[in-house]
């Protein structure tokens, strides 16, 4: 087998191993903030971090970055774990930044004692003005030179809840003139009198991301802390915070940045996805139109197809936009191998075989999946009255119409060759019935000469008597714009596709009577469909997952 070339992070790891970094000290983490559900962008980071864990047989922690009680909830923690497991990954330890609140507090106190942090009591507006701009250095604020004793007393009072939100913050004392704006005395703590989903009301101060993240990596002894490119400028601060606590006998974490996944025709910021949920623009985080892992799962995506997608897009340092069709391609490749073929008619028109006996019923053999021999066969009923798709018939058809028309022959899949004879119309001229005759000797698989006969096309069908009525949900893209959140003067909500969901009634073959939520099928000639979780014994609901590229993929 061909050796796959290394991506740049693997290359970095190989280099450090050859420079003597001990392999058993490699350690990775995936650090979601539990403020929303995981989306396909997270899957890229998951496949990267857990992929490195598998490749180097190294631990990968699941660390919930739960430092903002205003936005975080247990529901999200549970959903993230479920999605990770479904994607096929196992974490070494389940950890929470909030587990480190006491340690982080003690380190902050030590920094105050070392003159590396101070309490600022200005308004956020004043602090923003003093911070300057990328081209203009900042200036020191009036509280920057508070005494250590004063800082310690104030910080403790903040912790104890003696001060209202917004009255004070703890800031790192770095350099108000740094060319890196993030180094101009960044915030370390703010006051929040909020209930935290794990620490309850224990804390009235909460650490900021930049402070908590690197120190949490250090506590867990993460060797390679991988994040997306927006954090390049944060690396200097990440390292500064580590300098304050680093012990040379320990592993010093390093931050590496890769390009985030961008997909066209969707948004991936959790804040925006939350807005779609809260404003009922979609039906929850797992709405099959959402780019969330749970939405894709409900739509009918397989975990293998998402992992394959992440493998194909690779890991690099340059931002780009991936076409949604690549994700669909990976899905089709997988479903083509695994999804049983069945027949369903979604826009039915009645077809009567006039020379087929009225009381006759046959059960014909149908192959479940020509791509998978082990999938076997099933029986499908055949009788005089059937449904076919309305669009599979034209009274007068052009030469290249390989479907049914008057005087022409087609094959009914798994069954007989039929010939269009005449149509029945209602008063408005709409066709209500198609009458055909069948060639009794032409049954598929019978081995007869007539069964080998070549005809223009093959149609799918169901018998009216046996078919099961089902609800079918057809989806289109959620946004009509390729990059809905890229417009300066327009909100992304202005680009919602008003026709992203169509609910129709369809008829499926009776072998589907007892399907369970999550089962996936190819409706022949129509696409791939997934049984929705809202299905009941009395009402089966299918989500259209994705269409077929070819009419018959055989
Ligand atoms: P969002 O902007 O959607 O809220 P986030 O980065 O704030 O995303 P986190 O929960 O903090 O969300 O992300 C957890 C991990 O997933 C981080 O390491 C982050 O870099 C990574 N991640 C998030 N979005 C993407 C993406 N689009 N592509 C690749 N990795 C991503
Ligand atoms: Mg984040
Ligand atoms: Mg975010």
Question: What interhelical angle do 40-55 and 303-313 show, nearest 10?
Answer: 80
Verify whether ligand 1 is closer than 6 Å to residue 42 (CB atom): yes
Verify that 356 and 244 share a domain, yes or no.
no
Provide, rounded to the nearest whole percent, the portion of the chain with pLDDT above 90.
Answer: 96
Reported as a single tens digit per residue, the pLDDT across 450-462 is: 999 999 899 999 9
Q: Is pLDDT at 45 greater than 80 in this prediction?
A: yes
Verify whether ligand 1 is closer than 6 Å to residue 41 (CB atom): yes
Does the annotation place 35 within a ligand binding site? Answer: yes
Verify that 354 and 251 share a domain, yes or no.
no
Choose the catalytic residue: 131, 190, 260, 378: 260
Q: Is pLDDT at 113 greater than 70 in this prediction?
A: yes
Predicted pLDDT of residue 399: 87
Q: Which of 110, 115, 122, 106 is nearest to 168 (CA)?
A: 122
CA 389 – CA 551 distance, rounded (Å): 14
The CATH number given to whatever domain includes residue 382 is: 2.40.240.10
Verify that 103 and 217 share a domain, yes or no.
yes
- Tell me whether residue 374 is in a domain: yes
Complex confidence, ipTM: 0.96
Q: Which of 71, 57, 48, 50 is nearest to 22 (CA)?
A: 57
Which atom number of ligand 1 is nearest to the Cα of residue 271? Answer: 4
Verify that 44 and 191 share a domain, yes or no.
yes
Distances, alpha carbon 71 to alpha carbons 35, 74, 75, 109, 409, in Å: 5, 11, 11, 26, 63
Q: Is 33 a catalytic residue?
A: yes
Q: Do 166 and 205 contact (CB within 8 A), yes or no?
A: no
- Ligand 1: which residue has its CA nearest to atom 3? 269
Burial call 98-120: b when 16+ CB within 10 Å, e when fewer: bbbbeebbebbbebbeeebbbbb
Does the annotation place 270 within a ligand binding site? Answer: yes
**Number of domains the chain is built from:** 2
Does the annotation place 144 within a ligand binding site? Answer: no
Which atom number of ligand 1 is nearest to the Cα of residue 44? Answer: 29
Verify whether ligand 1 is closer than 6 Å to residue 252 (CB atom): no
Does the annotation place 496 within a ligand binding site? Answer: no
Over range 365-392, report the average pLDDT: 96
Question: 233, 262, 291: which is the final residue of a domain?
Answer: 262
Terminal Cα distance for the chain, rounded: 28
Verify that 245 and 364 share a domain, yes or no.
no
Question: 464, 497, 513: which is the final residue of a domain?
Answer: 464
Predicted pLDDT of residue 554: 37
Length of the chain: 554
- Tell me whether residue 157 is in a domain: yes
Tell me how far the alpha carbon of residue 126 lies from the centroid of ligand 2, in angstroms: 26
Q: Is pLDDT at 1 greater than 80 in this prediction?
A: no
Verify that 214 and 355 share a domain, yes or no.
no
Query: Structural domain of residue 208, as residue ranges?
Result: 8-262
Distances, alpha carbon 518 to alpha carbons 469, 510, 531, in Å: 18, 18, 5
Q: Within 13 Å of residue 110, how many CA atoms lie on the same side as its CB?
A: 11
Verify that 252 and 382 share a domain, yes or no.
no
Q: Is 260 a catalytic residue?
A: yes
Q: Which of 42, 47, 238, 319 is the best mutation target for the ligand 1 pocket, counting ligand atoms within 8 Å of the beta carbon and taking the most? A: 42
Q: Is pLDDT at 202 greater than 70 in this prediction?
A: yes
Tell me how far the alpha carbon of residue 41 lies from the centroid of ligand 1, in angstroms: 7
Predicted pLDDT of residue 413: 97
Predicted pLDDT of residue 551: 44
Verify that 24 and 131 share a domain, yes or no.
yes
Verify whether ligand 1 is closer than 6 Å to residue 213 (CB atom): no
Verify whether ligand 1 is closer than 6 Å to residue 63 (CB atom): no
Choose the catalytic residue: 270, 384, 411, 443: 270
Q: Is pLDDT at 132 greater than 50 in this prediction?
A: yes
Reported as a single tens digit per residue, the pLDDT across 488-533 is: 999 999 999 999 999 999 999 999 999 999 999 999 999 999 999 9
- Ligand 1: which residue has its CA nearest to atom 14? 32
Local structure of 508: helix, strand or coil: strand
- Tell me whether residue 418 is in a domain: yes
Tell me how far the alpha carbon of residue 87 lies from the centroid of ligand 2, in angstroms: 20
Q: Is pLDDT at 553 greater than 50 in this prediction?
A: no
- Tell me whether residue 325 is in a domain: no
- Tell me whether residue 107 is in a domain: yes
Q: Is pLDDT at 552 greater than 90 in this prediction?
A: no
Verify that 250 and 377 share a domain, yes or no.
no
Predicted pLDDT of residue 2: 52
Distances, alpha carbon 435 to alpha carbons 373, 405, 418, 423, 508, in Å: 36, 11, 10, 6, 22
Question: 262, 286, 314: which is the final residue of a domain?
Answer: 262
Distances, alpha carbon 432 to alpha carbons 239, 383, 463, in Å: 74, 18, 16
CA 219 – CA 256 distance, rounded (Å): 18
Q: Is pLDDT at 272 greater than 60 in this prediction?
A: yes
Q: Do 443 and 389 contact (CB within 8 A), yes or no?
A: no
Show the CA angle centred on residue 203, arms to residues 198 and 209, nearest 5°.
75
Q: Which of 228, 232, 315, 324 is the best mutation target for the ligand 1 pocket, counting ligand atoms within 8 Å of the beta carbon and taking the most? A: 228
Q: Within 13 Å of residue 443, how many CA atoms lie on the same side as its CB?
A: 11
- Tell me whether residue 539 is in a domain: no
Q: Do 223 and 25 contact (CB within 8 A), yes or no?
A: yes
The CATH number given to whatever domain includes residue 224 is: 3.40.50.620
- Tell me whether residue 294 is in a domain: no
- Tell me whether residue 535 is in a domain: no
Verify that 355 and 253 share a domain, yes or no.
no
H/E segment holding residue 437: strand 431-438
CA 367 – CA 342 distance, rounded (Å): 9
Does the annotation place 312 within a ligand binding site? Answer: no
Q: Collect all residues with Cβ–Cβ distance below 8 Å to 102 and sequence separation of at least 6.
A: none
């Amino acid at each position: 087998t061909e050796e796959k070339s290394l991506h740049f992070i693997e290359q970095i790891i190989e280099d450090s191993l050859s420079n003597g970094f001990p392999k058993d000290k490699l350690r990775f983490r995936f650090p979601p903030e539990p403020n929303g559900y995981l989306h396909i962008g997270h899957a890229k980071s998951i496949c990267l971090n857990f992929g490195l864990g598998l490749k180097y047989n190294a631990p990968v922690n699941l660390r919930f970055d739960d430092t903002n009680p205003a936005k975080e909830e247990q529901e999200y923690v549970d959903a993230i774990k479920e999605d990770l497991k479904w994607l096929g990954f196992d974490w070494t330890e389940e950890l929470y930044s909030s587990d480190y609140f006491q340690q982080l507090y003690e380190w902050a106190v030590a920094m105050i004692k070392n003159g590396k942090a101070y309490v600022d009591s200005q308004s956020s507006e004043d602090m923003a003005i003093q911070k300057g701009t990328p081209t203009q250095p900042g200036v020191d604020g009036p509280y920057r030179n508070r005494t250590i004793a004063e800082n310690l007393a104030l910080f403790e009072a903040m912790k104890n809840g003696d001060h209202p939100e917004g009255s004070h913050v703890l800031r790192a004392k770095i350099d108000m003139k740094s060319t890196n704006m993030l180094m101009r005395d960044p915030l370390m703590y703010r006051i929040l009198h909020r209930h935290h989903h794990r620490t309850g009301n224990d804390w009235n101060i909460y650490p900021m991301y930049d402070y908590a993240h690197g120190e949490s990596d250090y506590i867990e002894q993460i060797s390679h802390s991988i994040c997306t490119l927006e954090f390049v400028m944060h690396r200097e601060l990440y390292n500064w915070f580590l300098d304050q606590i680093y012990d040379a006998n320990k592993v010093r974490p390093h931050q590496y940045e890769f390009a985030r996944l961008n997909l066209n025709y969707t948004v991936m910021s959790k804040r925006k996805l939350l807005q779609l949920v809260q404003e009922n623009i979609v039906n929850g985080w797992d709405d099959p139109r959402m780019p969330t892992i749970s939405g894709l799962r409900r739509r009918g995506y397989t975990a293998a197809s998402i992992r394959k997608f992440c493998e194909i897009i690779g890991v690099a340092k340059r931002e780009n936009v991936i076409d949604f069709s690549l994700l669909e391609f990976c899905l089709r490749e997988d479903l083509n191998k695994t999804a049983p073929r069945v027949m369903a008619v979604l826009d039915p028109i009645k077809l009567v075989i006039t020379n087929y006996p009225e009381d006759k019923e046959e059960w014909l053999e149908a192959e479940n999946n020509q791509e998978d021999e082990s999938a076997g066969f099933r029986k499908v009923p055949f009788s005089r009255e059937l449904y076919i798709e309305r669009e599979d018939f034209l009274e007068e058809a052009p030469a290249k119409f390989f479907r049914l028309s008057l005087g022409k022959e087609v094959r009914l899949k798994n069954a007989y060759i039929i010939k269009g004879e005449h149509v029945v119309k209602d008063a408005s001229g709409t066709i209500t019935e198609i009458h055909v005759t069948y060639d009794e000797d032409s049954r598929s698989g019978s081995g007869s000469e007539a069964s080998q006969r070549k005809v223009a096309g093959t149609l799918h069908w169901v018998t009216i008597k046996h078919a099961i009525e089902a609800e079918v949900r057809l989806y289109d893209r959620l946004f009509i714009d390729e990059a809905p959140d890229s417009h300066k003067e327009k909100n992304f909500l202005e680009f919602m596709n008003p026709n992203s969901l169509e609910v129709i009634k369809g008829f499926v073959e009776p072998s589907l009577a007892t399907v369970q939520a999550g089962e996936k099928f190819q409706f022949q000639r129509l696409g791939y469909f997934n049984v929705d979780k809202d299905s009941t014994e009395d009402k089966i609901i299918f989500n259209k997952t994705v269409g077929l590229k070819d009419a018959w993929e055989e």
